[in-house]
Amino acid sequence: MGAAPEAESTAPVEGTAAPKAEASTPAEDAAAPAALALSPTVRVKTETLDRFLSAVGEVILSSSQLRTGVARYAQDPEVSDGFDRVDRRVAELQRRVLELRTAPLVRVTDNLPRTARQVAEKLGKRVEVEIVGAELELDRSILDRLGEPLLHLVRNAVDHGLESPEERIAAGKPEFGRLRIEARRQKDSIVIEVRDDGRGIDLASVCRRAVDAGLLHADLAADLPLEEVAAFIFHPGLSTKEAISEVSGRGVGMDAVKATIESLGGGVELRTEAGRGTSTTFYVPITAAVQSVLLVRIAEERLALPISKVERILEVSSEMIEEAAGDSFALIDDEPIPVFRLGRELRIEPREPDPSSVPLVITEVRGERIALLVDRFEGQQEIYVKPVPELLASVRILSGLTVLEDGSPVFLIDLNHLV
């Protein structure tokens, strides 16, 4: 969804100075934020950086394989100390090369205030935009795909969320609506929140539309928690807008936003309060090159599933899986959950299931909770993710490739393209 990667990237030698938080007001013109103060730099092609990062990944793998191969000498203090020194140097090299792949968030936020003002002017509204944390850096491959989701949220906030000046004054609010985009670091992730002080989302209307669309039984609507009602906003085709406009209300968008963020190994949360506004929060990893995964096996093949997408793992009796009209279901927590045989979806011939124990991975795909049936679990691991070979690039369910310590290749699965 994001912009195409640049042909060249500027890789800082000493680092990039952080820009200040930006606030855009009606008194300002449409100029972009102040340019970043740059230290001495060199221009390096993105392709060169990717090859460098790939080479570092191979060094890390070779180091792990070498340590495994000489395990019988591990009791020798000189050998052990030598490997520890190599591990520290390799880890430092990895950190440095990952820094070369990062860029500040301002690359995708600097045009958002202007967009918000243009949309507001078209709709007869007024808006102030504040951006905080745009100096934070994350992987360029992730950054390039954040542009469209952020743009959609800004347009949505102005169109759906903010009231007209007359409505705001009548409600005791300032004439200018406020839109705040804030980024902050949280461990190995970047949290990006887009918050407005508008009317909020009419969850009763969302609930009615979900019932009309057959997504929710009318008898259950009244007792559904508000956060579960809000989750319907991410369902394909469900819009809160009464009429289609040039800005929004076409019934598409939020589902694509959620799918994009999840494909990056992140997540989306939405909170809304009537009369107080709406907040949408993205959680995205800082780097796409290193990910935590759950390793599973199907027949002789090992596969990697992003840990961020795994709700839980469990083993059930095969008798708990029922067939109906060609579909499989399992009763988990008193809820019928569709069961997908991962081997069948990937055209891998699975083993015959053990009737006493069937491994299931509980996850969510496009807002639907599902269970993936595998042959067995093989633990959690942090992996270095390489691009899928060009020959398999068109297979969208394969989002990356890694090589384990024993030298075996393992594909990373993008669950958003599973069903």
Q: For the segment 48-63, what is each residue's pLDDT rounded down to a tens digit?
A: 777 777 777 777 777 7
Output the pLDDT for position 260: 86
Domains plus CATH for the chain?
Answer: 21-35+103-201+240-285 (3.30.565.10), 41-100 (1.10.287), 290-417 (2.40.50.180)
Output the pLDDT for position 72: 66
Output the pLDDT for position 245: 54
Please, are residues 264 and 148 in contact by the beta-carbon 8 Å criterion?
Answer: no
Please, are residues 100 and 44 in contact by the beta-carbon 8 Å criterion?
Answer: yes
Please, are residues 296 and 378 in contact by the beta-carbon 8 Å criterion?
Answer: yes
Average pLDDT per block of 10 residues along the chain, 419 residues long: 39 38 44 48 74 76 71 71 79 77 91 95 96 92 90 93 95 96 88 96 87 82 80 76 50 76 84 93 83 89 88 88 83 88 82 76 84 91 80 82 82 80
Output the pLDDT for position 114: 95
Output the pLDDT for position 419: 63
Q: What is the pTM of this model?
A: 0.64
Output the pLDDT for position 5: 40
Output the pLDDT for position 29: 44
| Alpha-carbon dihedral sign for residues 380, 386, 391, 392 | positive
Nearest to 151 by CA among 233, 234, 253, 242: 253
Q: For the segment 109-154, what is each residue's pLDDT rounded down to a tens digit?
A: 999 999 999 999 999 999 999 999 999 998 888 898 899 999 999 9
Output the pLDDT for position 261: 87
Kindly report each contact of residues 180-183 with a partner whose C-beta sits within 8 Å and lies 24 or more positions away, as own/partner. Answer: 180/129, 180/130, 180/131, 180/132, 181/109, 181/112, 181/129, 181/130, 181/131, 181/132, 181/150, 181/154, 182/131, 182/132, 182/133, 183/105, 183/109, 183/132, 183/133, 183/134, 183/136
Q: Is 101 helix (H, G, I), strand (E, B) or coil?
A: coil
